[in-house]
Structure 1
Amino acid sequence: MIKSNRNCINGFLFAGILNCLGCMSAAAQPKVIGIDELFELADANSKSIKVHNLAVAEAVQAVKVSKNDRLPSIEASLSFSYIGDGWMSDRDFSNGIKAEMPHFGNNFAFKATQAVYTGGAISTGIEMSELQKQVADAELDNDKQNIRFMLVGHYLDLYQLNNQRKVYQKNIEQTKLLIEEIESAFEQGTALKSDITRYELQLKNLELGLTNVLNRIKILNRELVTTIGLDTNVEIIPDTTLFAMGLDKKSELHWQEERMNAPVLKLANLGVELSERRQDMVRAGRRPTVGLMASNNFDGPILIEVPPINKNFNYWFVGVNVTYKFDSLFKNNKKLKQAKLATLKARENQLLVDEKLSNGVNAAYINLDEAYTRLDSKEKSVQLAHENYDVVHSRYINGLSLVTDMLDASNIQLSSELELANAQVGILYQYFLLKKTVGTL
C-alpha cells in the first residue's frame, strides 16, 4: 500500500512536469535558427542598430551640408516702406521746421559672394564631416559586434540549457528505475526503507533542477526573440550543426593581425585624425579670408539729399573682399595649445586601446586552447563516471555497497555530464569571443 501510494505521488508529480512541458510546447512555435540567420534578423530588427543606422545617414547628410560651403552665397531682398515727414532745426533745437518727404519707399538688393581662400577652414570642415561619417560607421560596426556577441552568448546558453534538460530528464528516468529496483529489494527484505527515501529525495532534487532549467530557457528565449524581432511565442531551437562543425583556430599571430580592423581601434584612430583636423581648423582662424563679391541695389527715394529726391536710384559693384581678424593673433594661441593637448590625449588613447586589444586577443586565444583541453578532460570524466555508476549499481544490487555509494555515483555522473555540456559550449563561446575581439563576428 505504501509503495502504491508513493508511486502514485511520484507519477503525479512527474506527470505534472511533463504536462507543463506539453503546455509550453503547445503554446510555443518551435523554430530552428542558425547563427547567420540570427545575425540577419538582429541587423534588420534591433532597435539599437536602427539608431546607429540613422546616425550614419545623418553623418552622410552632414558631409553634403559641409560641401555646400564651397558654393557661392546668393541673397536678395525686397522691401516697401512708408516714410514719415522729416523735422529740421538748428543745433540748439530752435527754429524747427517740418520737412516734406516722399512717403513711398522701396528697396531691392541682390548680393553674391564666393569664397576664394579661407585659410583651409572649408576643406578642413569637409574632412571633419567625412571623418565623423567614418566614426558613425565604426560605431555601427561596434554596436553590431556587441549585439551579435550578446546574441551568441544567449544562443549558446540556450543550447547548453537544452543539453542540461536532456541530462536531467535522463537522470530522472534512471533514478525512477533505481527506485523501483530498491522497492523490489525492500519487499524482499534486502533493502531498507531509508534507501527508498534517500532516492526519492534525489528524485525531487532532480525534478527541481529540471524546473529551474526550463524556466531559464523561457527567460533566455524571450530575450532572444524580442531582440531579433520575432513573436514572443516563437521557441528558438539552436542549430546543432553549428556545434558539429570544425573550428579553424588559426594562429595567435593571425588574430593579432586581424585586430587592426577592430571597430574600437578604428574609433581610436579616427579620434586622432579628428583632433588633428581640429588643430587645422584653429590654424585656419589665424589666416586671412579672401572672397569675390558682387552687389546690385535699387532704392528709392533718394534720402541722402536735402531736400529728398523722389526718384529711384540703382547702383552695383563687384570686388574682392579680404578679411583678417587681428585678435586671432593672441586669442587662437590658447585654442591651438588646447587642440594639441587633445591630440596628444587621443594618441595615448589609441595606444591604450591597441594594448587592451592585443591583451584581449592573447587571453581569448589562450582560453580557447584551455577550452579544448577542458573538453577532453570532461569527456574522459563522463566515461569514468558512467563506468563507476555501472560498477556501484551492480555492487549495490548484489548487496556489496551502500545506498550512499549509489548516491555518490549518481551525483558524480550527473555533475560530469553537466560539465561536459558546459565544456562543449565553452569552446564555441571562446571562439566567438575571439572573433568579437577582433571585430569579425
Structure 2
Amino acid sequence: MSKKKRLIGLLCIAVLCSQCLCAQTRQMGIEELFRLADGQSQSIQAYKTGTEAAREALKAAKAQRLPDVNASLSASYWGNGKLWDRDFGNAMTVDMPHFGNNFALEAQQVIYAGGAISSGIRQAELGTLLAELDLQKNVQEIRFLLVGHYLNLYKLDNQIRVLEKNMELTEEVIANMKARREQGTVLKNDITRYELQKEQLNLQLSRVKDARKIANHQLVTTLHLPENTEISPDTSLLERQILTLTEEEWQDLAEGNNILLRQSQAAVRMNEQKVKQERSERLPHISLVAAEHLDGPITIEVPVLDNNFNYWYIGVGIKYNFSSLFKNNRKLKQARLNVRQAQERHLLVQEQVENAVQEGYVNFLTAFTDLRTQENSVRLADENYSVTDNRYQNGMALLTDMLDASNMKLSADLGLVNARINILYNYYTMKYITHTL
C-alpha cells in the first residue's frame, strides 16, 4: 500500500508540474504588443509581400527607358531556283548555293513617346505608394484590433478582482449570519438567500473567466505565440497620462496622417497619369535606330553570288498612329471622368474622416464624464453598503435592503472598472481614426 501511495503522489506531482510548465504567463505592454504584431502577424506579412511586388513593378517600369536590343541568327538550306520568261516559257534551272545564313543585330532607343514612358513610371510609383499605404492601413487595423482584445483582457481581469472581492464580502456576511443564527436572531431563510447570491456571483465569475480565455486565445493567435501562453496586461496601464488634445488638433492630425485620405489623394494622381497616358497615344513616337546585318548568299543577282553581304545603318524612326485620332477619344474622355470621380471620392473621404474625428472626440469627452459619475457612484454605493450593513447588524434593516446594497456596490465597482478602461479605449480609437497608433 505504501508503494501505491508513493506512486500516486509522484503522479500528482508530475501532473502539477506539467500544468505549471504548460501555462506560461507573459506580462505584456501595448508597445510590445505592437512590436510582436509587426513582426509576426500573417496579415501584415501578406501586405509586406504586396509592397515588395509593387517595388519590383516600379523597377520594371523604369526599365522601359532602356534601349531595346534584338539579335537573330539563322542557318538554312537553299534549293535550286527556276527562271521563266514573263509568259512562263523557256524554263531554266538556276543553281543556288545550298547553304544560307543570316545574322542581324538591331537596337532601338525611344527618345520621345508622348510622355507614355514617364507616365507609366509615375503610375508605378503611385502603385508602390498605394501598396505601402495599404500596408500601413493594415498595420493600424491589426494594432487597433489587438488594442481591443488587450483592453478587454484588462477589463475582464479587473472584473475578476471585483467579483472575487465581493465574493469575500458575501462569505463574511454569511459567516456573521450563521453566528447570529446560533444566537437565534437570524432565520435560516436569510442565510439561504445570501448563499444564493454567492452562487450567482460564482456563476458570474466563471463566465468572466471563460470570456478571458477567449480574449487571451484571440491575442495569442494573432501574435502567433505558443498556444499555452497566458498574456497578463500591464497593471500600470491606467496610471498613464492620457494625451488630451482639442478637437481641432485631432482634426489636424487626421488631415496629415489618415491613410484613407492619402490613398484617395494618390488615386486622384493615378487617374491624372492615366489621362496623360491616353493622350500620349495621339502623339508621335520618335526613336533612334541602329542595325547590323550579315546575310548570304546574295540572291538579287543572277546567277546568285555565293558570298556574305554585310551592311549596317543608323537613323531616326518616327511612328504615328493616325487611327488614334478617332479611336482614342472615348478612352481619353473616360480617363478624364475617372479623374473627376476620384476627386469627388476624395472629398467624400474628407467628410467621413472629419465626422469620425468629431464623433470619436465627443465619445472621448463622454468617457471622462462617465468616469466621474462612476467614481461618485462607487463612493455612494460604499457609503450605502456600510450604513445598511450597520443597520442590519442592529436589526434596523431587512435582508432585502442588505441584498440591494450589495448588488448596488457590485454594479458600481464593475461600472468604475469599465469606465476607466473605456477612457483608454476611446483614446486609442482617436489614435486609430487619425492613424497614429
Asked if TM exceeds 0.5, the reply is: yes
1:64 matched to 2:59? The reply is yes
Amino acid of the structure 1 residue aligned with 2:69: I
The correspondence for 2:316, drawn from 317, 320, 335, is 320
Partner of 2:230, secondary structure, is strand
5+ residue gaps, structure 1, are 1-20
Deviation at 1:101, TM superposition (A): 3.0
1:152 aligns with 2:172: no
Q: Which residue of 2 aligns with 1:404?
A: 400
Match of 1:351 in 2: 347
Offset, 1:48: 1.2
State the identity %. Answer: 48
Letter in 2 for 1:126: I
* Matched letter for residue 26 of structure 2: K
Point out where structure 2 has 5 or more consecutive residues left out of the alignment.
1-15
One-letter amino acid matched to 1:397 = Q
Amino acid at match of 1:154: H
Take 2:81 and 2:199, find their aligned partners in 1: how far apart are those partners? 105
Deviations 1:245-276 (A, max 9, x none): 11121111111111122111100100100010
Aligned residues: 421
Q: TM-score, normalised by structure 2?
A: 0.92
For the residues of structure 1 that align with 2:416 and 2:86, how far apart are their CA atoms? 106
SS at 1:171's partner residue?
Answer: helix
| Cα shift readout 1:127-180 (whole Å, capped 9, x = no counterpart) | 111111111111111111111111111111110000000011111111122122
Match of 2:271 among 263, 269, 275: 275
**The one of 371, 377, 382 aligned to 2:373:** 377
**Aligned position for 1:183:** 178
Matches of 2:371 and 2:42, distance apart in 1: 37
Alignment correspondent of 2:109: 114
1:99 positional shift: 4.7
Partner of 1:303: 299
- TM-score, normalization: structure 1? 0.91
Amino acid corresponding to residue 312 of structure 2 in structure 1? W
Offset of residue 22 of structure 1 = 11
* CA apart distance, 1:278: 0.5
2:417 aligns with 421
Q: How does 1:179-218 map to 2 (within 5 A)?
A: 179-218=174-213
- Aligned-partner residue type, residue 69 of structure 1: Q
Distance 1:229 1:203, change over 3 A: same
Given candidates 239, 248, 265, the residue that maps to 2:243 is: 248
The match for 2:22 among 24, 27, 32 is 27
In structure 2, what is the Cα distance between the partners aligned to 1:283 and 1:147? 41
Task: Return the match for 2:358 from 355, 362, 385.
Answer: 362
Show CA shifts across 1:59-104 (max 9, x none): 2222221111111111211111223344566778787665543222
Distance 2:379 2:78 in 1: 106
Partner AA of 1:135 in structure 2? L
Match of 2:125 in 1: 130
**Aligned alpha-carbon RMSD (Å):** 2.0
